[in-house]
Amino acid sequence: MFLRRKQSQNHHVDESAEKEEKVKELRDALGTLTGRSLKYCTDGCLRRYLEARNWNVDKSKKMLDETLKWRATYKPEETRWSEVAHEGETGKVSKANFHDRLGRPVLIMRPGMQNTNSPEGNIRHLVYLIENGVLNLPEGQEQMSWLVDFTGFTLNTNVSVKTARDIINILQNHYPERLAVVFLYNPPRIFQAFYKAVRYFLDPKTAQKVKFVYPKNKDSVELMKTFFDIDNLPNEFGGKATASLKYDHEEFSRMMALDDVKTAKFWGFDDKPSLKTNGHFGPEVAPEPIPLAPSTC
């Protein structure tokens, strides 16, 4: 038994050294980086892209190059809450005031609270909150969990298949290994047909992170217990916490405004409204088309 344990430890050390060598290879392959690209490409970032491409350096480089092009065009770090606040008035996407058992932040989504018909607006709002979630990750944590509350959901409030596809592709191609798990809490039957349509765009690894949860199903209840402390989980999601999840737009906006200052400081630019053009910092752009290549988030 001791020999097997020793062999296992040696294998782990060899594997870790091999992965660190892959990180170095990828950084060398990227060449000289400057500005925000250099800030973005931390060793942790490189590991996520390598993980997403099964530690293939060439494929990881291609994926990361595409992300750097997308970020240079879309400029997600320059979006400010004032630009997307109207999308968040109903609380259709917000940050929870609790974490999962591993300390990961939780994004709460309420598709039944959809309030606009703008595909670009919906996407930019979600990207803003993903960027904000990444900025506020606890030290040593790189992923977040999503809880989707289907209260009030109808096909009229749902985003289109095309918008869902664009969101999936941005998440998979440009935020690899940021998503830990997605809980679809008590989805109605009409959602299942929609999910079948968008399931096609999910790569297998990402699809495994999607969990259908039903409050009266014993396995679902046990699954939630493995990911969340039931005493801290709001009763809307089967927990025992009595604190309401009611969304306060003014309070959330104040919190986001403070985080915008933190974001500007992190990326190294002044957060001055005078830099804005057409409501955005720099030229206003739409998301560039993203190929439906196998990806992972």
Q: State residue 131's pLDDT score.
A: 96
Query: Beta partners for 106?
Result: 145
Cα distance between residue 53 and residue 144, in whole Å: 20
* Numbered ranges of CATH 3.40.525.10 in the chain: 82-265
Provide the 3-class DSSP secondary structure of residue 136: coil
pLDDT number for residue 274:
35
The confidence score (pLDDT) of residue 22 equals 97
Contact 88, 121 (CB under 8 A): no
Return the pLDDT at 242.
77
Q: What is the model's pLDDT at position 289?
A: 42
Q: What is the pLDDT along the chain (297 residues), one digit of tens a residue?
A: 655 655 555 556 678 899 999 999 999 999 999 999 999 999 999 999 999 999 999 999 999 999 999 999 999 999 999 999 999 999 999 999 889 999 999 999 999 999 998 999 999 999 999 999 999 998 889 999 999 999 888 878 788 889 999 999 999 999 999 999 999 999 999 898 899 999 999 999 999 999 999 999 999 999 999 999 999 898 889 888 877 678 999 999 999 999 999 999 999 987 554 334 333 333 333 344 444 444 566
Rounded CA-CA distance 75/202 in Å is 24
| Among 136, 133, 128, 135, CA closest to 79 | 128
Tell me what pLDDT residue 169 has.
95
The pLDDT score that the predictor gives to residue 9 is 57
Domain range 9-74, its CATH number among 1.10.8, 3.30.300, 3.30.70, 1.10.1760: 1.10.8
Start and end residues for every CATH 1.10.8 domain found in the chain: 9-74
The top-level CATH class assigned to 82-265 is alpha beta
This prediction has a pTM of 0.86
